[in-house]
């Protein structure tokens, strides 16, 4: 009988510990979702509770960084400099330094199949020659270093980006 009581006791204690751990996980998830909502509001993008919090914090830190050709720091950056920094910091991936080289080493992805963290490529000089790269977020939004406004978030539905868009891409290691 004592064995059964001990077994019952440990079963109850184990369940209480598991419930406490679950409650802590839910609390931390709620804190993260609140933080994500706040960052999305600050960046003026649709809320996405499944968003990569590290990615959003990285973007928040870089938003407004001025553009300069060949730059790759928060002092000033170009599109591929920003993208290579983002990919190394957030995904631990070392990608080429030019938008064309990045494009040439990606698996092409349809615009409708883009996922957070995929790359988006543009031919901003006319034709089909890749000259600009950004990182896709969701709902058509992407982050990039614009020549006129520095690091910003834009939408693929905007006229300029809709006209110059060439392809999406997934980086393959």
**pLDDT tens per residue, range 45-82:** 999 999 999 999 999 999 999 999 999 999 999 999 99
**In the chain, where are the structural domains located?**
50-171
pLDDT at residue 172, as a whole number:
84
pLDDT at residue 140, as a whole number:
98
Just give the CATH number of 50-171: 3.90.1720.10
pLDDT at residue 33, as a whole number:
84
Q: Which of 68, 106, 112, 132 is catalytic?
A: 132
79 has catalytic annotation: yes
Sign of the C-alpha dihedral computed for residues 9, 15, 16 and 17 taken in this order: positive
DSSP 8-state secondary structure symbol assigned to residue 63:
T
For the chain, list residues with pLDDT below 70.
1-31
The separation between the first and the last C-alpha atoms of the chain, rounded to the nearest angstrom, is: 60
Is residue 39 within a helix (H) or strand (E), and if so which, with residue range? helix 2-43
Distance, in Å, from the CA atom of 170 to the CA atom of 33, rounded to the nearest integer, reads: 26
Q: Which of 76, 79, 106, 112 is catalytic?
A: 79
144 has catalytic annotation: yes
Distance, in Å, from the CA atom of 10 to the CA atom of 99, rounded to the nearest integer, reads: 59
């Amino acid at each position: 009988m004592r064995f059964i009581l001990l077994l019952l006791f440990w079963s109850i204690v184990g369940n209480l510990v598991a419930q406490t751990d679950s409650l802590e996980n839910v609390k931390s998830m709620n804190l993260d979702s609140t933080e994500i909502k706040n960052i999305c509001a600050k960046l003026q993008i649709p809320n996405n509770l499944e968003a990569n919090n590290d990615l959003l914090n990285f973007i928040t830190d870089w938003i407004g960084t001025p553009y300069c050709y060949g730059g790759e720091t928060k002092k000033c950056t170009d599109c591929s400099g920003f993208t290579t920094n983002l990919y190394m910091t957030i995904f631990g991936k070392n990608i080429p330094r030019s938008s064309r080289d990045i494009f040439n080493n990606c698996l092409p992805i349809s615009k409708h199949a883009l996922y957070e963290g995929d790359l988006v490529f543009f031919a901003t000089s006319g034709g089909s020659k890749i000259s600009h790269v950004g990182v896709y977020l969701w709902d058509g939004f992407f982050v990039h270093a614009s020549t006129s406004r520095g690091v910003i978030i834009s939408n693929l539905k905007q006229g300029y980006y809709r006209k110059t868009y060439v392809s999406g891409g997934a980086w393959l290691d």
